[in-house]
Amino acid sequence: MRRIVVQAAKEWSEFRRDRLSLALAFLLPLATLLLFGSGVRLQAKHIPIVVRDLDKSSISKRLVDHLESSEVVAKARWEATDSSTAALCASDARAIITVPNGFGDDIEFGDPTKFSAQIDGSDITTAHVMKAVARQIGISASDAAKEGKDYEVEPDVQVRFNPDLKESLFIVPGVFGIVLFMYPALLAAVAAARESELGTVVNLYTSSLSAIEALMGKAAVYILVGLLEAALTLLSGRAIFGLTFASEPSLFVVATVIYLCAAVFFGLMVGTFARSQTVAVQATATGGFFPSLLLSGFVYPIANIPPQLSWLCLFVPARYYIDACRDAFLHGTGWTCAWIDPLVLAVFAAVFFAGAWWLMRPMQLDDAHA
Amino acid sequence: MAEPTASSVSNDCAVAAVRLSCLCKNFGSLSALADLDVQIGAGELFGFVGPDGAGKTTLLRILAGVKHSTSGEARIFDEDPRQARLRVGYLTQHFSLYSELSIDENLKYYAGVRNVSRANFEQRREALLQRVGLSEFRNRIAGHLSGGMRQKLALCCVLMSDPDLLLLDEPTTGLDPLSRGEVWQLIRELVTDGKTVVIATPHFDEGQRCSRVALMQGGRILAAGPPSELIKQLGSTRLEIRCDKLQAATRLLLKAQERPDIAFNEMNVYGDRVDLISVDPAVVQSDVQTMLSQAGMSSYTVSFAEPTLENVFIASLRARGFVEPECPPFPFAGASAQIAGEIAIEARQLGKRFGHFTAVDKVSIDIRHGEIFGLLGANGAGKTTTIQMLTGLIKPTTGEILVGEQCGKLGTSEFRRRLGYMSQKFTLYDDLTVAENLAFYAAAYSLDASLRQQRVEWVLSMCELSKLQHTVVGSLPWGLKQRIAFGASVLHQPSLLFLDEPTAGLDPVARRQLWRIIRDFAAHGCAVVVTTHFLDDAEYCHRLGLMIEGQLAAQGAPGEIKTAAGHQFSASLEEAFISIVLQTRTVPV
């Protein structure tokens, strides 16, 4: 018994003095709790939609008011000139409800009528919720009819981009975003940290290489490996999950190359900073994987994340790449709507490269190497 | 005694290869290098000699241009080290090779990043590989090379850019005696070729091979100059005393040391001899002879020898007012020297295979109570595996281990209570204070309260640490950690003590102190097994076993090994081992 206490006392003293363990033990659970607790919701709220009331009767107005006062949806920005496809791609509207002219009159006279609900099928969860919402509108409208026994207003539901609401079409492009960031970044981080850990980094410092040349040389290899990984995932996605391009893939190709650069530069930056492979792996996993998983719109819609946290999403490269992927495989609008994604990714790549260069730039062992 | 004080070193030369003026380097509040003034001429073979923590590696890093100094100046061929880096070849302490790359690929990489033209590359590669005998292995992966081959390849890589100045950080550490000799042969050839070589080493015998040395301790230069001159300045002679009743003779000499009429100022006890340093050797010789004869001893020899750089080092420390610390004796409890001579542990035809690799093959040794047994060999020769089998940490593949009566049965908790084990690293917990570490070990060995306090206090006073006992171990210098780790491993007064490289990183004074304590344990009946690749340490052992490629190539007292290899008593163990290695070698090292 005493020896158990001794072992425990020793463990406790060690643990207390190890800042990294302390942070892992208390800060990470808290951060995870906050993130999941306030950010991540499976249940949809405030889904941005566009409601087009072409009828403007008292019944349609009542329906629209009722809809807009609900927690589930929120009003999305929409220009009257936009086509419906553009509305679903460019603005973040997940659905467009159109109430046709004469809708109110039809109901009042008990004539059969319809309203249309165009739903973006690229996000499965939201699409299911919107289907339910459309049915609910139909029921409310039926209740408004004067003699309403067998009277039903059917929504004309049209699911766009993923008409069968196949889950694989939703998940797989998102997986690209995770896979093509994590693995190239890990390889690069370990490669950079290994040189510090083994001391071979002195070879670089005593050579005629500049910091930029050293980084570029390392990056080139892992970007190439990343491209092979991309080709592999793409072909498997096609063979196994039947993933096909919705339009010509030039934007996807450009975005992928830039995304891989960003991932590898991120890895090099972390690896140069970490100096040990273990730390490099931990840092890349925590700093790269969690945000990509939780804050990229991969599974949990970004719209669900409350505004206090949603600014964090702006700094997650995966968010932009997943957006580009979904455009390539589902929306198919190409450069017209998704042009911004490669641009933002290029900014990320530049910032990560600058960071790695800044850390490497002195080409000196720092005093922690004593 | 002449005082070797030349702390500023200069050599009149047209262009200095290295010039340091008032060079300082601080790490936080710690001063790693303090006011170094050194000038090294082109074509010199210069050695910075000193224990770990003396500042050698930091100095070489500054010279290589990979670390900034805090103040002062370092110039290489009158340029900033960072500017001059392509004229410098820097061999780091741990082989900086890429172990996944082949010999050829490593050379190609080094040449490529140091602006070597293709024609020069081809030509130098052939010449260098030929010179070190690696031509036939050029496609072999560096990670699969032996330690000696790796170090030779690392030297080739450094030489690829044909540097004018070579900075070599402990180029022979961890090598077997033969590879060590080959590396030194290569270094001498390079100097003949006109290159300037600066070498950092903890081995005083290697310092003796340099044209000039600077003896370093704590970031300062204690003495500098050509080794022969430093030794001459000492004005003393070393007396080697060999005797069949060495323990009794040692006791007599210790008593004599306190008498004012016998004039020797340094005494050091080795495994089968005692060294005295004296300015008046003839008188001391006759005094000692008289004393030993009066005590009824007849078979002894007292011979003269030259002092070593280690003697110079210690004399320089003394000249700076350094007083050797009083080390209180270990508070032994219920120990008996009577069991001395009984077998403590015996290995018969011990073997260990890891997959297809035979780490240890047919090793038979017996270790007796009261004896210090030294297990010697290069890195990878199988020393640590042998120790791990003897301590019951891993199971042997073949052979058996017999444990003497005193120690219970291998692997039982009784055995573990009688066992002390100091492994090469990780014995202490970096995040705990000194006192917490010692308390943990004391409690883990279930020492009762009175013994615990007494022994922890002994460790603290042995390490002169009473004031620092609440310091976190991680922040202490390596040498001190090593001594605390030793203290922790003997808290429970083991009957069988295994020490894996116990003196690595210790300065000569601390090393001698540690050996005194180890001898004290042996005198109280403890059986001690020490592994080391440090040949200086081997002389302190009563018996030695030399391991080569998993096999025991030779066994015996230091003097026996020298004579068995066909050398004189006065020869160095290194020479003896090289002869033995050459006789037993099966594959190229």
Provide the residue ranges of all domains of chain A, joining segments of one domain with +: 47-160, 167-369
Q: What is the pLDDT of residue A132?
A: 86
Q: What is the pLDDT of residue B56?
A: 93
Q: List % helix, strand, coil for chain B (3-state, nearest 5).
A: 40, 25, 35
Q: What is the pLDDT of residue A79?
A: 63
* CB contact B31 to A (< 8 Å): no
Q: Is there a contact between B85 and A17 if contact means CB atoms under 8 Å apart? A: no
Q: What are phi and psi of B539, to 5 degrees?
A: -65, -20
Q: Is the pLDDT reported for residue A363 higher than 70? A: yes
Q: What is the pLDDT of residue B578?
A: 83
Q: Is the pLDDT reported for residue A152 higher than 80? A: no
Give the angle B145-B150-B152 at the CA atoms, nearest 5°. 130
* Range B66-74 average pLDDT: 93
Sign of CA dihedral A323, A328, A332, A337: positive
**H or E segment and range at residue B48:** strand B45-49
Q: What is the pLDDT of residue B548?
A: 84
* Range B526-541 average pLDDT: 88
| pLDDT tens-digit readout, B375-390 | 988 878 888 899 989 9
Q: For residue A2, list chain B residues with Cβ-Cβ distance below 8 A.
A: 443, 446
Q: Is there a contact between B98 and A200 if contact means CB atoms under 8 Å apart? A: yes
**Most confident by average pLDDT, B58-67, B86-95, B477-486:** B58-67
What are the residues facing A99 on neighbouring strands? A53
| pLDDT tens-digit readout, B171-193 | 988 787 888 888 999 999 999 99
Q: What is the pLDDT of residue B3?
A: 41
| pLDDT tens-digit readout, B275-327 | 999 888 888 888 888 888 988 888 888 989 999 999 999 999 888 888 777 78
Sign of CA dihedral B180, B183, B187, B189: positive
* Range B165-174 average pLDDT: 91
- Determine what percent of chain B is predicted with pLDDT higher than 90: 42
Q: Which residues contact B231 (CB under 8 A, 6 or more apart)?
A: B306, B307, B308, B309, B311, B312
- Determine what percent of chain B is predicted with pLDDT higher than 70: 95
Q: Is pLDDT larger for residue A17 or for residue B252?
A: B252
**Most confident by average pLDDT, A305-319, B347-361, B566-580:** B347-361
| pLDDT tens-digit readout, A93-115 | 788 888 888 888 888 777 788 88
Tokens matching residue B452: 């615990």
Domains of chain B: 16-231 (3.40.50.300), 236-306 (3.30.70.260)
The Cβ-side half-sphere exposure at B299, using a 13 Å CA radius, reads: 3
pLDDT grade for B8, boundaries at 50, 70 and 90: very low
pLDDT grade for B589, boundaries at 50, 70 and 90: very low
3-state secondary structure of B236: coil
Sign of CA dihedral A356, A357, A362, A364: positive
pLDDT grade for A38, boundaries at 50, 70 and 90: low
Nearest by CB: A365 against B61, B115, B429: B61
Q: What is the pLDDT of residue B429?
A: 85
Q: What is the pLDDT of residue A91?
A: 57
CA–CA dist B248, B305 (Å, integer): 23
CA–CA dist A72, A76 (Å, integer): 13
Q: Is the pLDDT reported for residue B13 higher than 50? A: no
Taking all residues of chain B, what is their mean pLDDT, rounded to a whole number?
87
* CB contact B110 to A (< 8 Å): yes
Q: For residue B82, list chain A residues with Cβ-Cβ distance below 8 A.
A: 363
Q: What's the distance, Cα to Cα, between the start and end of chain B in Å? A: 45
CA–CA dist B332, B318 (Å, integer): 31
Q: How many helices (H) and strands (E) does chain A have?
A: 16, 5
Tokens 């022994």 correspond to what residue?
B455
C-alpha separations of A360 from B18, B28, B63, B383 in Å: 27, 22, 20, 40
Q: Is there a contact between B440 and A364 if contact means CB atoms under 8 Å apart? A: no
> Which chain A residue is nearest to residue B70, measuring alpha carbons?
A367
Q: If we measure between CA atoms, which residue out of B315, B234, B208, B328 comes closest to residue B268?
A: B315
Nearest by CB: A207 against B28, B32, B114: B114
Edge-to-edge strand list for the sheet holding B551-556: B419-422, B496-500, B527-532, B372-376, B543-548, B551-556
Q: If we measure between CA atoms, which residue out of A78, A97, A120, A134 comes closest to residue A297?
A: A120
CA–CA dist B34, B13 (Å, integer): 24
The domain made up of A47-160 has a fold known as abc type-2 transporter like fold (3.40.1710)
Q: What is the pLDDT of residue B1?
A: 38
Q: Which residues contact B22 (CB under 8 A, 6 or more apart)?
A: B35, B36, B37, B71, B72, B73
* Range A160-173 average pLDDT: 81
Evaluate whether B44 touches B17 at the Cβ level (below 8 Å): yes
Q: For residue A204, list chain B residues with Cβ-Cβ distance below 8 A.
A: 113
**Most confident by average pLDDT, A95-104, B160-169, B564-573:** B160-169
3-state secondary structure of A70: coil
Nearest by CB: A13 against B65, B431, B443: B431
Q: Is the pLDDT reported for residue B7 higher than 60? A: no
CA–CA dist A103, B340 (Å, integer): 110
CA–CA dist B480, B504 (Å, integer): 11
pLDDT grade for B558, boundaries at 50, 70 and 90: confident
Segments of A161-221 assigned E as strands: none
| pLDDT tens-digit readout, A209-245 | 889 999 999 999 999 999 999 999 999 988 998 888 8
pLDDT grade for A141, boundaries at 50, 70 and 90: confident
Q: What is the pLDDT of residue B5?
A: 41
